[in-house]
């Protein structure tokens, strides 16, 4: 299967036009918007033939090359030249350029013009887009678990934790991606967790609230199934790590009632030093729920960790591969080419890929590279 990286296109945009019989049908984020719906209120995904104009191609290329500011006058001219044509993509790309350059005045001025052009609410300025990617902790001080913590993935997932279990500065445990855990995995994590108690220092964790909910769904007061005991005890440790003494005490009593044993006791030495520490891990920057693998602000040859995460996630995932681009501001050409090869491999394996929350500039590049012919793309919600 081969795809042309650069396709010459018609600049007119008509979401109602259908592909000619010989044309390939592509699944991509269509620029179709309900007239009763705000532009950024949702996602519309459908088969479409909308092609990039020459200006849109040029802007996408410049942005991929790190020249976003220079792309602005190109898109400003394109907006003026297409006035009256209701070409949504051109406007949305310019909105995104202003957003990434943090030019709110220009963004809001464009919004006023947008209302006259489309007679609907314009995209709203989103402060969250300036958050960028969450900082990546040093590799030697964090243990990030994948989506599946089961006997099949145990050896790989727990290797970093085994290596660091006896350190005086225990690494932060990141459970934010975990979607499933079995009893054996819970028991192994619990064993290594207890091993680190020799240091009598708090165990910092991330994603603790979601992980606690997952564990709580696997237990029931009065249901004495010994294979479920690791879920109970691990959940108790999570409450300890989060500094939730009331939840700890209540769960410990329920555990004692269920298994007729003495419950674990709260250890003030193992709780966060202050409420601020727990808040920093769990609550300082509340985020909406994310779907699939959440990726960093740039995926480029200079920032290759995003691509490495995608490859690892694809190997672990047994279902549809969902990549969340909420924080992805830019993808460069080299990485897009690697995306193309990777997605073709996955397609040949019968795997499906969906990329959600894609900003307009990255979306244009992925379409330009032919990636929209391989995966489902969903543009970013504001």
Name the residue among 122, 99, 98 with its Cα closest to residue 112. Answer: 122
Higher pLDDT, 328 or 319: 328
Query: Is 288 inside a domain boundary?
Result: no
Mean pLDDT of 31-50: 36
- Alpha-carbon gap, residue 100 to 132, rounded angstroms: 10
- The domain boundary, picked from 130, 148, 174, lies at 130
Distance, CA of 372 to CA of 89 (rounded, Å): 15
Residue 5 lies in a domain: no
Is 365 a member of any domain?
A: yes
Q: Which of 55-69, 135-149, 215-229, 309-323 has the lowest mean pLDDT?
A: 135-149
Number of folded domains in the chain? Answer: 3
Query: Is residue 154 located within the same domain as residue 114?
Result: no
Q: For position 260, what pLDDT does the model report?
A: 93
- Tell me the residue range of the domain where 102 lies: 27-130
Residue 144 shares a structural domain with residue 125? no
Is 8 domain-assigned? Answer: no
Q: Which residues contact 285 (CB under 8 A, 6 or more apart)?
A: 131
The answer on 275 and 147 residing in a single domain is yes
* Section 316-325 average pLDDT: 84
Answer for the pair 238, 209: CB distance below 8 angstroms, yes or no.
no
Find out whether 186 and 215 touch, Cβ atoms under 8 Å: yes
Beta-bridged to residue 303, according to DSSP, are: 300
What percentage of the chain reaches a pLDDT higher than 90? 46
With cut-offs at 50, 70 and 90, classify the pLDDT of residue 169: low
304 shares a domain with 241: no
pLDDT, average across residues 163-184:
78
Q: What pLDDT is recorded for position 167?
A: 56
**Same domain assignment for residues 269 and 145:** yes
Residue 264 has pLDDT above 80, yes or no: yes
């Amino acid at each position: 299967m081969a795809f042309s990286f650069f396709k010459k296109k018609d600049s007119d945009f008509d979401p109602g036009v259908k592909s000619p019989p010989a044309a390939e049908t592509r699944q991509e984020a269509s620029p179709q918007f309900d007239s009763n719906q705000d532009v950024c209120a949702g996602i519309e995904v459908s088969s479409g033939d909308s092609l990039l104009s020459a200006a849109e191609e040029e802007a996408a290329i410049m942005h991929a090359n790190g020249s976003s500011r220079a792309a602005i006058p190109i898109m400003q001219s394109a907006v003026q030249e297409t006035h009256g044509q209701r070409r949504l993509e051109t406007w949305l790309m310019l909105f995104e350029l202003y957003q990434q350059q943090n030019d709110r005045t220009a963004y809001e001025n464009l919004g006023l013009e947008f209302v006259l052009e489309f007679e609907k609410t314009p995209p709203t300025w989103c402060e969250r887009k300036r958050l960028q990617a969450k900082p990546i902790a040093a590799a030697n001080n964090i243990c990030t678990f994948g989506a599946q913590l089961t006997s099949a993935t145990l050896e790989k997932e727990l290797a970093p934790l085994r290596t660091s279990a006896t350190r005086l500065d225990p690494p932060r445990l990141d459970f934010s991606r975990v979607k499933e855990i079995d009893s054996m995995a819970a028991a192994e994590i619990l064993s290594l967790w207890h091993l680190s108690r020799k240091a009598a220092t708090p165990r910092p964790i991330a994603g603790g609230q979601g992980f606690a909910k997952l564990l709580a769904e696997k237990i029931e007061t009065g249901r004495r199934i010994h294979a479920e005991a690791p879920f109970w005890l691990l959940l108790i440790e999570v409450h300890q790590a989060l500094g939730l003494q009331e939840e700890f005490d209540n769960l410990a009593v329920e555990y004692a009632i269920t298994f007729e044993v003495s419950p674990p006791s709260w250890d003030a030495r193992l709780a966060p030093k202050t409420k601020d520490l727990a808040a920093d891990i769990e609550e300082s920057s509340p985020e909406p729920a994310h779907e699939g693998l959440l990726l960093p602000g740039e995926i480029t040859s200079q920032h290759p960790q995003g691509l490495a995460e995608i490859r690892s996630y694809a190997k672990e995932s047994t279902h549809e591969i969902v990549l969340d681009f909420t924080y992805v501001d830019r993808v460069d050409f080299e990485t897009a080419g690697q995306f193309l090869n990777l997605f073709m491999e996955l397609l040949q394996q019968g795997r499906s890929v969906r990329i959600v929350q894609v900003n307009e500039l990255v979306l244009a590049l992925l379409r330009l590279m032919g990636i929209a012919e391989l995966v489902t793309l969903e543009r970013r919600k504001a």
